[in-house]
Structure 1
Amino acid sequence: MTVPPDIEAFEERAAIAEFDGGLSRADAEDVAAQAQGFANSDRYWQWLADYVVNRRYP
């Protein structure tokens, strides 16, 4: 991943997957992260944390 993920799109997709799709929040976040090219939500959040701490793309 070389560009910052779209946080608004992530949150919207996760909400739709959770409420309309009947997924747990964790599963819904995995779906949203995968839609942006991440293996799962843990990788997504780690990428964002690294970006914030280092102020550059990981």
Structure 2
Amino acid sequence: MLIPDIDALEERAAIAQYDGGLSREAAEDVAARQQGFRHREHYWEWLADYVVTRKLP
């Protein structure tokens, strides 16, 4: 089961963006994949669904 860690995503995305020279979107894709998500959209959709339903998938 995937459980997003928003602090880790933000930190890893910032590092990838700053050190790797990636756009914010590309950096979030990298960070989301590190947590087992397909891409950043998958990450944010999962998180939004959780906030609305308050249930893990």
RMSD: 0.8
CA deviation map 1:13-56 (0-9, x unaligned): 00000001100000000000000000000000000000000000
Count of aligned positions: 57
TM-score (norm 2): 0.95
Structure 1 residues without counterparts, runs of 5 or longer = none
Deviation at 1:3, TM superposition (A): 4.6
Give me the TM-score of the superposition, normalised by structure 1.
Answer: 0.93
Structure 2, unpaired ranges of 5+: none
Which structure features the higher share of helix residues? 2
Identity between Structure 1 and Structure 2 (%): 65
Runs of 4+ in 1 over 6 A off after TM superposition: none
